[in-house]
Amino acid sequence: MKADHALEKLIAGNQRYVTHQLVHHHQSSSRMRAIATGQHPFAVILGCADSRVPPEIIFDQGLGDLFVIRVAGNILDDAILGSIEYAAEELGTSLVLVLGHERCGAVAATVKHADIPGHISTLLNAIQPAVDRAKDEPGDLLDNAVRANIQLVVEQLKSSMPVAELVQHSRLKIVGAQYKLDCGTVEVLF
Protein backbone atom coordinates (compact mmCIF):
# COMPACT_ATOMS: atom_id res chain seq x y z
CA MET A 1 0.00 0.00 0.00
CA LYS A 2 1.29 3.45 -0.89
CA ALA A 3 2.10 5.74 2.04
CA ASP A 4 -0.49 8.39 1.18
CA HIS A 5 -3.23 5.75 0.94
CA ALA A 6 -2.09 4.27 4.28
CA LEU A 7 -2.33 7.71 5.90
CA GLU A 8 -5.80 8.26 4.42
CA LYS A 9 -6.85 4.86 5.79
CA LEU A 10 -5.63 5.81 9.27
CA ILE A 11 -7.40 9.16 9.20
CA ALA A 12 -10.62 7.56 7.94
CA GLY A 13 -10.42 5.03 10.77
CA ASN A 14 -9.90 7.81 13.28
CA GLN A 15 -12.97 9.61 11.91
CA ARG A 16 -15.00 6.44 12.42
CA TYR A 17 -13.68 6.25 15.99
CA VAL A 18 -14.54 9.87 16.76
CA THR A 19 -18.04 9.57 15.29
CA HIS A 20 -18.71 6.18 16.91
CA GLN A 21 -19.10 4.47 13.52
CA LEU A 22 -16.53 1.72 14.14
CA VAL A 23 -16.44 -1.19 11.72
CA HIS A 24 -14.09 -3.42 13.75
CA HIS A 25 -12.83 -5.14 10.61
CA HIS A 26 -10.05 -7.72 10.78
CA GLN A 27 -10.96 -8.82 14.30
CA SER A 28 -12.45 -12.22 13.56
CA SER A 29 -11.14 -15.72 14.10
CA SER A 30 -10.90 -16.13 10.31
CA ARG A 31 -8.65 -13.05 10.14
CA MET A 32 -6.54 -14.51 12.95
CA ARG A 33 -6.06 -17.71 10.93
CA ALA A 34 -5.43 -15.78 7.70
CA ILE A 35 -2.50 -13.86 9.14
CA ALA A 36 -1.08 -16.67 11.28
CA THR A 37 1.65 -17.43 8.74
CA GLY A 38 2.67 -13.86 7.90
CA GLN A 39 1.98 -10.21 8.43
CA HIS A 40 1.68 -7.27 6.05
CA PRO A 41 0.81 -4.23 8.16
CA PHE A 42 0.09 -1.12 6.14
CA ALA A 43 1.52 1.33 8.72
CA VAL A 44 3.95 1.55 11.60
CA ILE A 45 2.70 3.51 14.58
CA LEU A 46 5.38 4.71 16.98
CA GLY A 47 3.23 5.90 19.84
CA CYS A 48 3.30 6.61 23.52
CA ALA A 49 2.61 3.75 25.90
CA ASP A 50 -0.16 5.81 27.51
CA SER A 51 -3.16 3.55 28.12
CA ARG A 52 -5.53 6.19 26.75
CA VAL A 53 -4.03 6.04 23.24
CA PRO A 54 -4.34 2.48 21.83
CA PRO A 55 -3.61 2.76 18.06
CA GLU A 56 -5.75 -0.17 16.88
CA ILE A 57 -8.75 1.35 18.59
CA ILE A 58 -8.31 5.05 17.78
CA PHE A 59 -7.65 4.19 14.11
CA ASP A 60 -10.37 1.48 13.98
CA GLN A 61 -8.00 -1.19 12.68
CA GLY A 62 -7.69 -4.90 13.34
CA LEU A 63 -5.33 -7.84 13.49
CA GLY A 64 -2.35 -7.50 11.18
CA ASP A 65 -3.17 -3.96 10.03
CA LEU A 66 -0.70 -1.99 12.15
CA PHE A 67 2.85 -2.58 13.32
CA VAL A 68 2.61 -0.87 16.70
CA ILE A 69 5.58 0.20 18.79
CA ARG A 70 4.72 1.86 22.09
CA VAL A 71 7.06 3.49 24.57
CA ALA A 72 6.51 6.27 27.08
CA GLY A 73 7.07 9.60 25.36
CA ASN A 74 7.14 7.98 21.90
CA ILE A 75 10.93 8.26 21.95
CA LEU A 76 13.39 6.63 19.59
CA ASP A 77 16.21 4.29 20.61
CA ASP A 78 18.18 1.58 18.81
CA ALA A 79 15.68 -1.21 19.51
CA ILE A 80 12.76 0.90 18.33
CA LEU A 81 14.70 2.03 15.27
CA GLY A 82 15.51 -1.60 14.48
CA SER A 83 11.83 -2.49 14.76
CA ILE A 84 10.89 0.28 12.33
CA GLU A 85 13.63 -0.81 9.92
CA TYR A 86 12.31 -4.38 10.13
CA ALA A 87 8.76 -3.28 9.31
CA ALA A 88 9.91 -1.20 6.36
CA GLU A 89 12.54 -3.55 4.95
CA GLU A 90 11.08 -6.99 5.68
CA LEU A 91 7.34 -6.34 5.80
CA GLY A 92 7.17 -3.62 3.15
CA THR A 93 5.36 -1.10 5.33
CA SER A 94 5.37 2.28 3.59
CA LEU A 95 4.24 4.65 6.37
CA VAL A 96 5.58 5.48 9.82
CA LEU A 97 3.34 7.65 11.95
CA VAL A 98 4.95 9.11 15.07
CA LEU A 99 1.99 9.59 17.40
CA GLY A 100 2.26 11.84 20.43
CA HIS A 101 -0.64 13.03 22.54
CA GLU A 102 -1.79 15.94 24.64
CA ARG A 103 -0.68 16.11 28.26
CA CYS A 104 1.93 13.38 27.87
CA GLY A 105 3.19 12.38 31.32
CA ALA A 106 6.73 11.63 30.14
CA VAL A 107 7.03 15.04 28.50
CA ALA A 108 5.46 16.69 31.56
CA ALA A 109 8.03 15.02 33.83
CA THR A 110 10.80 16.30 31.58
CA VAL A 111 9.37 19.83 31.62
CA LYS A 112 9.27 19.69 35.44
CA HIS A 113 12.87 18.42 35.56
CA ALA A 114 11.62 15.57 37.67
CA ASP A 115 14.26 13.71 39.61
CA ILE A 116 13.01 10.22 38.93
CA PRO A 117 15.13 7.22 39.88
CA GLY A 118 15.97 4.21 37.80
CA HIS A 119 15.57 3.81 34.08
CA ILE A 120 12.87 6.45 33.74
CA SER A 121 15.69 8.97 33.35
CA THR A 122 16.47 7.34 30.00
CA LEU A 123 13.08 8.50 28.75
CA LEU A 124 13.48 12.00 30.16
CA ASN A 125 16.97 12.37 28.68
CA ALA A 126 15.60 11.45 25.24
CA ILE A 127 12.79 14.03 25.56
CA GLN A 128 14.95 16.87 26.97
CA PRO A 129 16.09 18.19 23.54
CA ALA A 130 12.44 18.70 22.58
CA VAL A 131 11.75 20.58 25.81
CA ASP A 132 14.81 22.74 25.13
CA ARG A 133 13.45 23.56 21.66
CA ALA A 134 10.06 24.52 23.07
CA LYS A 135 11.27 26.74 25.95
CA ASP A 136 11.24 30.01 24.04
CA GLU A 137 8.05 29.44 22.05
CA PRO A 138 4.91 31.40 22.96
CA GLY A 139 2.09 29.45 24.54
CA ASP A 140 1.94 26.50 26.90
CA LEU A 141 5.33 24.87 27.43
CA LEU A 142 3.91 21.35 27.80
CA ASP A 143 1.83 21.60 24.60
CA ASN A 144 4.79 23.02 22.71
CA ALA A 145 7.14 20.37 24.10
CA VAL A 146 4.80 17.53 23.10
CA ARG A 147 4.75 18.81 19.51
CA ALA A 148 8.50 19.45 19.55
CA ASN A 149 9.05 15.89 20.77
CA ILE A 150 7.02 14.48 17.88
CA GLN A 151 8.97 16.64 15.44
CA LEU A 152 12.29 15.61 16.99
CA VAL A 153 11.51 11.90 16.61
CA VAL A 154 10.40 12.43 12.99
CA GLU A 155 13.69 14.24 12.29
CA GLN A 156 15.71 11.51 14.01
CA LEU A 157 14.01 8.87 11.90
CA LYS A 158 14.52 10.78 8.66
CA SER A 159 18.23 11.17 9.37
CA SER A 160 18.92 7.59 10.43
CA MET A 161 20.25 5.06 7.94
CA PRO A 162 18.78 2.96 6.34
CA VAL A 163 15.46 4.68 7.06
CA ALA A 164 16.73 7.88 5.41
CA GLU A 165 17.49 5.95 2.22
CA LEU A 166 13.99 4.47 2.16
CA VAL A 167 12.53 7.96 2.54
CA GLN A 168 14.86 9.33 -0.15
CA HIS A 169 13.75 6.62 -2.61
CA SER A 170 10.04 7.20 -1.76
CA ARG A 171 9.67 3.73 -0.26
CA LEU A 172 8.80 5.13 3.16
CA LYS A 173 6.98 8.20 4.40
CA ILE A 174 7.31 9.48 7.95
CA VAL A 175 4.74 11.80 9.47
CA GLY A 176 4.09 13.19 12.91
CA ALA A 177 0.67 13.43 14.50
CA GLN A 178 -0.92 14.30 17.82
CA TYR A 179 -3.86 12.62 19.52
CA LYS A 180 -6.35 14.91 21.26
CA LEU A 181 -7.37 13.25 24.51
CA ASP A 182 -10.59 15.18 25.01
CA CYS A 183 -12.17 14.55 21.60
CA GLY A 184 -10.30 11.54 20.19
CA THR A 185 -9.11 13.15 16.98
CA VAL A 186 -5.68 12.67 15.46
CA GLU A 187 -4.16 15.76 13.91
CA VAL A 188 -1.39 15.27 11.36
CA LEU A 189 1.23 17.91 12.18
CA PHE A 190 3.88 17.37 9.49
For 131, phi and psi rounded to 5 degrees? -65, -40
> What span, in angstroms and rounded, lies between the C-alpha atoms of 121 and 124?
5
The SS3 call for residue 56 is: helix
**Residue-wise pLDDT tens digits, 45-59:** 999 999 999 999 999
Radius of gyration of the chain (CA): 17
The helix-helix angle for 141-158 and 120-134 (nearest 10°) equals 100
The yes-or-no verdict on residue 114 having pLDDT over 80 is: no
Report field, pTM of the whole predicted structure over 0.85: yes
Dihedral angle, C-alpha 97, 18, 60, 130, nearest 10 °: 20
What are the structural domains of the chain?
Answer: 3-188 (3.40.1050.10)
**Residue-wise pLDDT tens digits, 25-80:** 898 899 999 999 999 999 999 999 999 999 999 999 999 999 999 999 999 999 99
> What span, in angstroms and rounded, lies between the C-alpha atoms of 137 and 140?
8
- Look up residue 11 and give its amino acid: I
Is residue 89 exposed (0-12), middle (13-18) or buried (19+ Cβ within 10 Å)?
A: middle
